[in-house]
């Protein structure tokens, strides 16, 4: 596997990638040398970027072997998510790794701007001593309005409370409990927050809704002398409107870490004395970069290995513990799904997934993805993965319905799939014994207790003497060892199903010979 790193990440991260046996190329120039990037990206399985490299539709068209985009950081606004999902490319980031640094930088900008620290520093370093031009303002007793009370916003909120600030926030997407948890007053309308705040700090992602959300209209109603900070994304506070509001004396100072266009040395904000600007340094601390580097390396490695990754942006969000608890169910889900196209050939109309018992209390959306991945893998191979499994079903006109039953049946937990076609419904069910032992417990109404193994022979036969012996003889003759064997029937003398786990592949000729045995109705080698 080859990984291209186009922006500076911590040495520890590079080492971790190398130690996993990947071939790593680091070329920081490629973040801005677009032509060369597009030219060589086809040679790579994964790319690791920060906020500079633009991962857009044109990029994906050249990245024909790409499986993973690793964002060594938090914001993913430089990455086209739809393009990745359509192609089954996993996008992973490190949303927790640099939050403290971003919050601390926000606070640094807030204090430095309201006390004119950078301006005074430049002044004295130019060999001037004059205290008259730098009078600041205290924080204590002032109102800080936070827009976006997420990871970083909430850290800023609690830290600024220690300065004696009254903290209010506008975030329509979080619960009242989150406001209470951080002792932050909830403001229902952005306009009201703007009117009440002495300081405004934005902490939302850049979205269609947030881009320009603090603009000319908002500045018209803001308190005269309001101070603003943007350490989130350029343009959340509209840059032109900010320049105007500063010139008009509405905004007393601004602390800015991010600009709409980066890198940028020509923004009019740079000409204003009461604006202090840093070149996107929010995440630039030793701790954050070590954290980010090591985390992204681990994530890219697991994503390349084809598994679920906790911080995959275009997959259900899972915490590490949740993922641990779900691992065996993901494996079981894939196994159940894989049975279908290896046993049946009918086009699917609908897939029902029923979770019952203890698994019903878990975050099962990822297990449904595992089932869908399993269903399509035998016919689409590596073109289907966790990222595009749902989309693949949708594009094929297949509806997917999940339901949960908390009542326990025969098993502590059970995952059941009903695959509905025009002619019939295929069913399969499985359970997890103990902590991690997956078992197939039912296929098409026949009950088993079968441990999935890479090769399974599944036969439908008439329930009569001699069937097992004949299959055993034919497999023995072709040197295939039977590991385990289970036979299930519902009515004596009618149809039965055999489940034989075998230690190696069974060749076509042997399969044909078994198929020709009188009483064998159907035989399939299933690869799980």
Ligand X SMILES: O=C(O)C(=O)COP(=O)(O)O
Ligand Y SMILES: NC(=O)C1=CN([C@@H]2O[C@H](COP(=O)(O)OP(=O)(O)OC[C@H]3O[C@@H](n4cnc5c(N)ncnc54)[C@H](O)[C@@H]3O)[C@@H](O)[C@H]2O)C=CC1
Chain contacts with ligand X (rule: CB under 6 A) = 50-51, 72-75, 98, 280, 282-283
Q: State both tokens at 320.
A: 């590490």
Quick one: 206 or 416, whose CB is closer to ligand X? 206
Quick one: 203 or 414, whose CB is closer to ligand X? 203
Quick one: 8 or 327, whose CB is closer to ligand Y? 8
What is the closest distance, in whole angstroms, from the C-beta atom of residue 458 to ligand X in the complex?
49
With the C-alpha atoms ordered 515, 520, 521, 523, is the resulting torsion angle positive or negative? Answer: negative
Quick one: 57 or 209, whose CB is closer to ligand Y? 209
Q: Which residue do the tokens 């080698």 mark?
A: 525
Q: Which residue do the tokens 């989130």 mark?
A: 232
Distance CA 144, CA 166 (A): 6
What is the closest distance, in whole angstroms, from the C-beta atom of residue 206 to ligand X in the complex?
10
Query: Where do runs of H (alpha helix) occur along 305-400?
Result: 320-343, 365-380, 389-395
- Nearby residues of 504 by Cβ (< 8 Å), 6 or more positions away: 455, 479, 480, 481
What is the closest distance, in whole angstroms, from the C-beta atom of residue 208 to ligand Y in the complex?
9
4 beta partners: 25, 47
Buried b (16+ CB within 10 A) or exposed e, 424-463: eebbbbbbbeeeeebbbbbbbebbbebebbebbbbbbbeb
With CB under 5 to 8 Å by kind, the binding choice for 171 among ligand X, ligand Y, none is ligand Y
Quick one: 152 or 366, whose CB is closer to ligand X? 152
Q: Which residue do the tokens 């065996």 mark?
A: 328
Determine the Cα angle at 295 with ends 29 and 94, to 5°.
80
What is the closest distance, in whole angstroms, from the C-beta atom of residue 62 to ligand Y in the complex?
26
With CB under 5 to 8 Å by kind, the binding choice for 95 among ligand X, ligand Y, none is ligand Y
DSSP assigned state of 226? E
Quick one: 152 or 252, whose CB is closer to ligand Y? 152
What is the closest distance, in whole angstroms, from the C-beta atom of residue 287 to ligand X in the complex?
13
With CB under 5 to 8 Å by kind, the binding choice for 84 among ligand Y, ligand X, none is none
What 3-state class would DSSP assign to 58?
helix
Chain positions contacting ligand Y, by CB under 6 A? 74-75, 95, 98-99, 102, 147-153, 170-174, 203-207, 209-210, 231-233, 257-258, 280, 282-283
Q: For 508-514, which contacts have Cβ atoms below 8 Å and span 24 or more sequence positions?
A: 509/478, 510/474, 510/475, 510/477, 510/478, 510/480, 513/474, 514/457, 514/459, 514/470, 514/471, 514/474, 514/475
With CB under 5 to 8 Å by kind, the binding choice for 50 among ligand X, ligand Y, none is ligand X
Q: Are 248 and 273 in contact (CB under 8 A)?
A: no
Q: Tell me the residue nearest to ligand X as measured from the CB.
A: 73
The catalytic residues are: 233, 262, 280
Quick one: 191 or 205, whose CB is closer to ligand X? 205
Residue 259: CA count within 13 A, CB half-sphere: 17
Q: Tell me the residue nearest to ligand Y as measured from the CB.
A: 150
Residue 423: CA count within 13 A, CB half-sphere: 4
With CB under 5 to 8 Å by kind, the binding choice for 331 among ligand X, ligand Y, none is none
What is the closest distance, in whole angstroms, from the C-beta atom of residue 232 to ligand X in the complex?
8
With CB under 5 to 8 Å by kind, the binding choice for 70 among ligand X, ligand Y, none is none
Query: Exposure of 136 by Cβ count < 10 A (0-12 exposed, 13-18 middle, 19+ buried)?
Result: middle
Nearest to 288 by CA among 9, 33, 511: 9
What is the closest distance, in whole angstroms, from the C-beta atom of residue 272 to ligand X in the complex?
23
With CB under 5 to 8 Å by kind, the binding choice for 373 among ligand X, ligand Y, none is none
């Amino acid at each position: 596997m080859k990984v291209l790193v186009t922006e500076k990440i911590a040495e520890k991260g590079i080492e971790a990638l190398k130690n996993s046996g990947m071939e790593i190329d680091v070329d920081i120039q490629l973040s801005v040398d677009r032509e060369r990037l597009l030219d060589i990206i086809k040679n790579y399985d994964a790319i690791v970027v920060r906020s500079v490299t633009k991962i857009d539709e044109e990029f994906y068209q050249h990245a024909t072997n790409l499986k993973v985009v690793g964002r060594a950081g938090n914001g993913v606004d430089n990455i086209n998510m739809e393009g990745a999902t359509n192609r089954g490319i996993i996008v992973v980031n490190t949303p927790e790794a640099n939050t403290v640094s971003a919050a601390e930088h926000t606070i640094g900008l807030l204090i430095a701007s309201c006390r004119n620290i950078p301006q005074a520093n430049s002044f004295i370093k130019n060999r001037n001593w004059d205290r008259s031009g730098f009078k600041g303002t205290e924080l204590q007793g002032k109102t800080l309005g936070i827009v976006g009370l997420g990871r970083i916003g909430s850290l800023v909120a609690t830290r600024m409370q220690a300065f004696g600030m009254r903290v209010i926030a506008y975030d329509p997407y979080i619960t009242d409990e989150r406001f209470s948890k951080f002792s932050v007053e909830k403001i229902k309308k952005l306009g009201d927050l703007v009117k009440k705040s002495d300081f405004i700090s934005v902490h939302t992602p850049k979205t269609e809704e947030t881009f320009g959300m603090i603009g000319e209209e908002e500045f018209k109603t803001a308190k005269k002398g309001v101070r603003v900070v943007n350490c989130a994304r350029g343009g959340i506070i509209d840059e032109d409107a900010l320049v105007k509001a500063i010139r008009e004396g509405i905004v007393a100072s601004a602390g800015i870490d991010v600009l709409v266009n980066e890198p940028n040395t020509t923004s009019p904000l740079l000409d204003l004395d009461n604006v202090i600007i840093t070149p996107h340094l929010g995440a630039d601390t030793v701790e954050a970069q070590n954290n980010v580097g090591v985390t992204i390396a681990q994530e890219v490695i697991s994503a390349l290995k084809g598994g679920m990754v906790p911080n995959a942006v275009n997959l259900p969000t899972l915490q590490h513990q949740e993922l641990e608890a779900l691992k065996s169910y993901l494996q079981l889900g894939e196994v159940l799904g894989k049975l279908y196209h290896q046993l049946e050939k009918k086009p699917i109309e609908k897939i029902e997934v029923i979770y019952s018992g203890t698994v019903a209390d878990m975050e099962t959306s990822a297990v449904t993805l595992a089932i869908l991945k399993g269903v399509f893998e035998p016919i689409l191979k590596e073109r289907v993965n966790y990222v595009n499994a749902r989309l693949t079903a949708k594009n094929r006109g297949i509806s997917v319905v999940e339901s949960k039953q908390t009542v326990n049946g025969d098993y502590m937990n059970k995952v059941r799939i009903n695959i509905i076609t025009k002619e019939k419904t295929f069913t399969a069910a499985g359970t997890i014994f103990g902590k991690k032992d997956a078992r197939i417990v039912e296929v098409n109404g026949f009950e088993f207790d079968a441990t999935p193994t890479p090769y399974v022979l599944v036969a439908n036969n008439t329930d009569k003497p001699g069937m097992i012996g004949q299959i055993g003889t034919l497999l023995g003759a072709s040197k295939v060892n039977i590991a385990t064997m289970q036979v299930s029937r519902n009515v004596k003398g009618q149809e039965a199903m055999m489940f034989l786990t075998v230690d190696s592949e069974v060749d076509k000729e042997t399969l044909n010979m078994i198929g020709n045995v009188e009483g064998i109705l159907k035989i399939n080698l299933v690869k799980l």
